[in-house]
Amino acid sequence: MDFDAVLEKCGNFGRYQFVLLLLYGCTNILSSMHYFAQTIISFTPEHWCYHEKLANTTISYIRSIYAQTSDSQCTLLEDIVDDRPVISELGKCTKWIYDYDRNYRSITTDLKWVCEDAFQVAVGQSLFFLGSIVGTIFFGFLADKIGRLPALICTTLAGAFGDFLTSFVSSLPAFALFRFVSGLSNDTIFYLMYIMVFEYLSPKKRTFGLNIVTAFFYCFGLIMSPWYAIWVGSWRYYLYIASLPALVVLLYPVFICESAQWLIATERYDRAVNCLKRVAKFNGRKVDEEVFTQFRAYYEEKMAADKKFKTNQDTFWNMFRTPRLRKFTIILLIKSMIITISFDVVSRNMEGLGSSPFTLFSLTSIAYIPGGLTIILLQNRIGRKGMAFGSLFVSAIIVTVTGFLIAFLDRDQHATLLAIMVGLGRYGVIVSYDAEAQYAAEFIPTTVRGRGLANIHVIGYGFAMLSSYVIYLGRYFKPLPSIVIAVVMMCGALLCLALPETLNQKLPETLKDGEEFARHQRWYYFPCFDRLQKNQVSDIENTNTQ
């Protein structure tokens, strides 16, 4: 009797799964606040070089004076004569006047990381993604050695500890180091809990349950984050709010069990049985002891047979040995890089668009809900390939239009229009990100799926180190980040056409299967169009027979 059969008897969608989904929702909130903490703490208000004649004047007067200069935020004035600025030919700004957004003090204003020093925030964010690469590898290894639940607790606390330490920094080296520590849990905090829920949840409820919880709880965390920051008024206090709630993960073992499938894979059958008994008790199910005896015997025999006849030498790197599989693997790696950097840039690029970045970030985060619902409604209708291509293609168009609007419209007068476009852009990259995750998981052969997905994630986060520098391009020309990302996403959409469709296909189990997978598919094959053609042929045949 295998795991799924025993879990069905113990309950695969009962009270235990409800608690598990709630804790998964809690992890989504922690993950969202952790991932976007860098964005919240580094919002930079409008600023101008300090001059004593401007010390006690209004913001509108200061803005009118500096509007007469070519670089209003970083131009040092020697004097102000008859309401006209006299630009200093020597020296640079050492003090600024800030138009604080709701009196919020960010790290850029406290540490004066503006103008020539604005790059320091980008450096810190790139170290965050470097930490995520190391963390994905390390905590993935740890999860295989000590278990999913202990690794989940360790990675969550590591990220929170990094955020907490960041609140004390006053220099770039310390900031970069602690952002690296914070980044260690960037990916693992989410996907380890995802695995826990995936294994204990009914297969029929997985797509709906996981996507709905992610959409609503992750969205809630993002919507509330800017208002927490405004409430406390300081980036240092905000990091306390983002880090201290992570301590709740210490209570997880009270409510949930270790991954039973990991226990089976490591031949800890007694612990696996105890976990399943705990699930049954929580769900109010009575299961005969004979069921667990059969369960234990089944896997003992299966493991013994696997050890005796195991000849499989499939590895992730062997995916590069054959031509078709090599091409598909390289495309998946490039797609991961494109989607990760696009998701990060579009989600973070909130400043200088005519609205408060706090309000804009909060309101456009609502896009996570329709994004999750779109995946649920359309993924099985138009296919994985169609979803991946369509979401990237449409997103590229939206971001391109947004770039042109930023370039040619007055941002203050058209703030509402720009906010709508930013929201649509975030919706598009959210759908693209979610679609890519399932597409890759289905295409990579079973024998290397875990290692393959981990490596694809690592490569994607490695490339995302450049996202802060792409956003930094906006200092030279505000639409430039949108233009760069639109071109990148269009390239990603075209690459999708070279991948095979996985919907309603027998998924590859070995590398040999992967090389032969969908060999006769054309690049323009989409199951939704194929289904439409079949329906039209059927209608014609029915008409002819009448």
What are the pLDDT digits (tens) for 429-488?
Answer: 999 988 887 788 778 886 777 678 778 888 888 888 899 899 989 888 889 999 999 999
The verdict on residue 278 lying in a domain is yes
In a domain, 40, yes or no: no
Whether residues 360 and 397 fall in one domain = yes
Q: Does residue 108 sit within a domain?
A: no
Q: What is the pLDDT of residue 454?
A: 76
Residue 265 has pLDDT above 50, yes or no: yes
Contact criterion met (CB below 8 Å) for 454 and 126: no
DSSP H helices, 214-259, are 219-232, 235-243, 252-255
- Going by pLDDT thresholds of 50, 70 and 90, the confidence category of residue 11 is very high
Together in a domain, 293 and 402: no
Q: Give yes or no: residues 332 and 288 share one domain.
A: no
Buried/exposed code over 4-33 (b: 16+ C-beta within 10 A; e: otherwise): eebbebbbbbbebbeebbebbbbbbbbbbb
Residue after which a domain boundary falls, among 277, 307, 337 = 307
Give yes or no for residue 249 having a pLDDT over 70: yes
If asked whether residues 77 and 135 sit together in one domain, one would say no
d(CA 263, CA 309): 22
Please tell me whether residues 94 and 205 are part of one structural domain.
no
pLDDT of 206 above 80: no
Number of domains in the chain: 3
Examine the domain organization and report whether 95 and 209 are in the same domain: no
- 206 and 181, same domain (yes or no): yes
What's the confidence (pLDDT) of residue 423? 95
Same domain, 29 and 50: no
| Mean pLDDT, range 378-407, rounded to an integer | 91
Q: 485 and 365: one domain? A: yes
9, 109, 201, 514 from 15: Cα distances, Å? 14, 48, 11, 39
Enclosing domain of residue 142: 1-33+114-307
pLDDT band at 209 (very low <50, low <70, confident <90, very high): confident
**Residue pLDDT, tens place only, 136-151:** 889 888 888 898 899 9
DSSP string, 151-215: HHHHHHHHHHHHHHHHTT--SHHHHHHHHHHHHTTTTHHHHHHHHHHHHHS-HHHHHHHHHHHII
Average pLDDT (365-376) is: 90
- Fill in the DSSP letter of residue 67: T
pLDDT in tens, 324-364: 989 999 999 999 999 999 999 999 999 888 899 999 999 99
Is 315 within the bounds of a domain? no
In a domain, 104, yes or no: no
Residue that terminates a domain, selected from 247, 273, 307: 307
Does residue 274 carry a pLDDT above 50?
yes
Q: What CATH number has the domain bearing residue 186? A: 1.20.1250.20
